Amino acid sequence: MNTKKATLVGLIAILLWSLIVALIKDVSSHFGAVGGAALIYTLASIFLFFSVGWTRLKSFPKNYLIWGALLFVAYEICLSLSIGYSNNNRQAIEVGMVNYLWPTFTMVAAILFNQQKANFLIIPGFVVSLLGICWVLGGDQGFDLIGMTANIQQNPLSYGLAFMGTLLWAAYCTLTARIANGVNGITLFFILVSIVLWIKYLVMGGSGFDFDWSSSISLVFAAAAMGFGYAAWNVGILHGNVTLLAGASYFIPVLSAFFAALLLNTPLGLSFWYGALMVCVGSILCWLATKTKS
């Protein structure tokens, strides 16, 4: 595959990932937070098996197999359940926005633990990203610490899981860069996520599912966006223009909010969009900070 086609495939991955928040929330409304997530990751694992393929366990560096799997599984569970446990569509979108702090935290972790060189832009980038999230969570008032605190207290579990997920994904990306040795464990890791979710579902005494056309279509689209998103991104990173893809990925928060507002029929005020743009700008500043002195 040539560079242009591979880059286009990578851009498709960004589009697919931008749909995930809305699709997870929709599936959870049909099958519950845990049951819906278990179904999504199970079907996504099947998609990945036939698109990316299976990597033999012997190919995995031992540390990556253990720590990579642990961090990846924990992150995906935090992501899916933070959205699934949200009280309403607006909250699901806000929780998704908290999750998109991960590029900023990943850059900071790379500097702290991987000796990534950076310049002064990392400081305003980090601050702007955090202010953007505060703006989003402040509601229609914009930056409002009292309003933000009250908002989080309505559902501390969802917001807490989302924030924990950003730290876990930053740790996964930082660690993978050091110990994966080019091994792609995505198919195995997705299977592990689905197994953990099914165990949780059974322990909670989960009952059967009622499938209909609407819920089935939502499930297939969610699993496809999740599974094929990772598969397409892998193609883009391996064979495409990595610089272009990295830059484009920082606009996922705005794209995700746009599609979620559209698909979930949830209007968002100007203060939300200001906050979403600040998250993007902060992430880009962090990226530029590492690029200029790499």
Contacts of residue 11, Cβ cutoff 8 Å, sequence gap at least 6: 236, 245, 248
Q: Does the pTM exceed 0.85?
A: yes
Closest CA to 196 of 17, 34, 21: 34
pLDDT of 141? 67
pLDDT of 293? 46
pLDDT of 67? 92
User: How far apart are alpha carbons 177 and 155 in whole angstroms?
Assistant: 34
Are 21 and 83 contacting, i.e. CB atoms less than 8 angstroms apart? yes
Based on the structure, what is the number of domains in the chain? 1
Contacts of residue 30, Cβ cutoff 8 Å, sequence gap at least 6: 36, 214, 215, 218, 219
User: How far apart are alpha carbons 68 and 57 in whole angstroms?
Assistant: 13
Tokens standing for residue 258 = 């746009």
Q: What is the pLDDT along the chain (294 residues), one digit of tens a residue?
A: 678 888 898 899 889 999 999 999 999 999 999 999 999 999 999 999 998 888 888 888 888 899 999 999 999 999 999 999 999 898 898 888 888 887 778 777 777 776 778 788 888 888 888 888 888 877 666 666 777 788 788 899 999 999 999 999 888 888 887 888 878 888 999 999 999 999 999 998 877 788 889 899 999 999 999 999 888 887 887 677 766 777 777 788 888 888 888 888 888 888 888 888 888 888 888 778 877 544
Q: What DSSP letter does each residue of 167-231 carry, written as one string?
A: HHHHHHHHHHHHH-TT---HHHHHHHHHHHHHHHHHHTT-------HHHHHHHHHHHHHHHHHHH
pLDDT of 10? 85
Cβ count near 141 (within 10 Å): 12
Task: Label residue 123 left, alpha or beta by phi (over 0 means left) and psi (-120 to 50 means alpha).
Answer: alpha
Are 196 and 45 contacting, i.e. CB atoms less than 8 angstroms apart? no
Tokens standing for residue 29 = 């409304």
Are 6 and 235 contacting, i.e. CB atoms less than 8 angstroms apart? yes
Q: To which H or E segment does residue 137 belong?
A: helix 122-137
Give the domain range for residue 96.
Answer: 3-290
